Structure 1
Amino acid sequence: MMTNNNPNTIPYYQVDAFTTRPFGGNPAGVCPLTEWLSDKTLQAIAAENNLSETAFFIPVEGGYHLRWCTPAVEVDLCGHATLAASWVLFNKLGFTGKVIRFFTRSGVLEVSRHDNEYCMDFPAKQMVSIETPAGLLAALGISDGIVGVWQSDDLVVLVENKAIIDGLSPDFNALKVFKTRGVVVTAADEEFDFVSRWFGPQVGVNEDPVTGSAHTFLAPFWAKRLGKLTLSARQGGVRQGTLRCVIRDNERVAIYGSARMAIEGVFSL
């Protein structure tokens, strides 16, 4: 366990979430705190890290208060940084309980360890079918093979096959104009139940390798299409990660993934 006696430094971990191999999955910064720094300082740390998300948490009665920041904004929910924070608590900070309870903007989130996997219990969300927003497909660089477009926390574009996803090269400046957290493109796959890529220049993240929070609505969507409650998923372009999603009967979704630490050190203020 890292100790910290210097008030001008905080422990820092970089954890690759949703992977078991080096340089895979989605890297997240994790900064355990004893008390909250100013919002401005948290945002500056996240910008300095320049990762899609940095997680910050402090101990509170019954668990931990957890927050997430992209390099540009604080967000309501982040899956991979929650997984990274849980890995740090279980493996570096001596957490001995069975379930970690995080108090967040999205309510209480629970994470448990199952051998080399971690299970995150998140609220399930729904998607609403919409007309394709003008300019969206051009911004994504998609000319055909579109099945439909839906809206949840993100815009979701369903395409006919994985080849379209592999060939995506979006115009990120053009994507910024859409009033949404991000844009997901998804398709069925032969190896996995579904695959996807996530783009979020609106929140300062051009492409997120693995977006756990997007699977709170992608998993229920694909569960209905495929008629199954347990699904395997892969997300990413050049850098990828894998997830296992289980639809529960209480309007929750369990998202399973592995993680590994890449960097351990201190952050100097």
Structure 2
Amino acid sequence: MELILYQIDAFTDTIFGGNPACVVPLNKWLPDEIMLKIAKENAVAETAFFVDKGEKIHLRWFTPEIEMDLCGHATLATAHCLTTILDYQKGEIVFKTLSGDLFVKVENGQYKMNFPSRMPVVDILPPTISKSLNIKPKEILKSRDYVLVYENETEVRNIEIDRQLFDQINIDPGGVIVTAVGDKCDFVSRVFTPQASILEDPVTGSAHCSLIPFWSKRLNKKELYAKQVSERLGKLYCEDKGDRVIISGQAKTYSIGKFWTE
């Protein structure tokens, strides 16, 4: 079977920035084990597979290790693929996913994703995570992911992970977000995933399902500008809408290719 693969950099306006995702259109679902093997072969943080069923586009995301319940950057990449390459004509894209229906609109070159809000609550940090961090957080919260709040952007940028300890943690399917008020934006973050082939995710849309409500309340602002300060850097335009959040960003197509599977 011949399939098309699009690699797209999400949450950036330049090639080699943001977070790379692969997008694979399908006529029908492949076996899960095949999609997982494809994701592993692609060797990026997430590969999105979709089947267009008319009113809704059914969308699934796979890391090289597992299927995810929610992924922002690969959703943005899929929306970019549909609208700029595949000539998708509807004004709003509705994705049917494991996290319910997700809605994406394209406005002024921005992909505006309507995602569920996941306000984190105060929690206790497992000792293994604490010992794996070179700088201790001042606040600890959790939703799907742990959210660790730091004093300032410098601390977030200087976080180092002892991977040998960190990989002993099981937060399936979540990770650890480190965050602080930004120097030249409302807030910054980095995201680390234990037991993953890619330790630090360059830009993590789904993490902002928790970061947006947290910082919206903390800063008393409904609209926020965020940066994920990984090496590749991601820019996110955010809005708190109560039980939903708007996560917006740009994307650039890196490559288009073909591959074959049995």
Instruction: Note whether the superposition's TM-score is higher than 0.5.
Output: yes
State the 1:203 CA deviation: 4.2
State whether residues 76 and 105 of structure 1, in contact with CA within 8 Å, keep that contact through their aligned partners in structure 2.
yes
Alignment pair present for 1:117 and 2:143: no
**Aligned partners of 2:124, 2:230: CA distance in 1, in Å?**
26
State the 1:238 CA deviation: 1.3
Unaligned runs of 5+ in 2: none
Alignment pair present for 1:75 and 2:64: no
Question: Match for 2:120 among 98, 119, 127?
Answer: 127
Q: Secondary structure at the match of 2:30?
A: coil
**Corresponding residue for residue 38 of structure 1:** 31
**Aligned partners of 1:177, 1:254: CA distance in 2, in Å?**
34
State the 1:33 CA deviation: 0.7
State whether residues 70 and 205 of structure 1, in contact with CA within 8 Å, keep that contact through their aligned partners in structure 2.
no
State whether residues 182 and 202 of structure 1, in contact with CA within 8 Å, keep that contact through their aligned partners in structure 2.
no
**Corresponding residue for residue 252 of structure 2:** 260
**Aligned partners of 1:16, 1:187: CA distance in 2, in Å?**
25
State whether residues 25 and 242 of structure 1, in contact with CA within 8 Å, keep that contact through their aligned partners in structure 2.
yes
**Aligned partners of 2:54, 2:231: CA distance in 1, in Å?**
41
**4+ residue segments displaced more than 2 Å:** 176-179, 201-205
**Corresponding residue for residue 85 of structure 1:** 78
**Corresponding residue for residue 4 of structure 1:** none
Structure 1 counterpart of 2:245, one-letter code: V
Aligned-pair RMSD on alpha carbons?
1.1
Q: Secondary structure at the match of 1:103?
A: strand
Question: Match for 1:187 among 167, 180, 186?
Answer: 180
What aligned pairs does 1:1-269 form with structure 2 within 5 A after superposition?
8-142=1-135, 144=136, 146-180=137-171, 181-249=174-242, 251-269=243-261
**Aligned partners of 2:123, 2:149: CA distance in 1, in Å?**
12
State whether residues 95 and 101 of structure 2, in contact with CA within 8 Å, keep that contact through their aligned partners in structure 1.
yes
State the 1:104 CA deviation: 0.3
Aligned residues: 259
State whether residues 168 and 194 of structure 2, in contact with CA within 8 Å, keep that contact through their aligned partners in structure 1.
no
Unaligned runs of 5+ in 1: 1-7
Q: Secondary structure at the match of 1:54?
A: strand
State whether residues 246 and 255 of structure 1, in contact with CA within 8 Å, keep that contact through their aligned partners in structure 2.
yes
Q: Deviations over 1:159-182 (max 9, x none)?
A: 101111111221223112233211
Q: Which moved more, 1:82-91 or 1:201-210?
A: 201-210
Quick one: structure 1 residues 202 and 86, their matched pair in 2 at CA, closer, same or farther if it must change by over 3 Å? same
**Aligned partners of 2:113, 2:3: CA distance in 1, in Å?**
26
Q: Which moved more, 1:8-17 or 1:162-171?
A: 162-171
State whether residues 69 and 75 of structure 1, in contact with CA within 8 Å, keep that contact through their aligned partners in structure 2.
yes
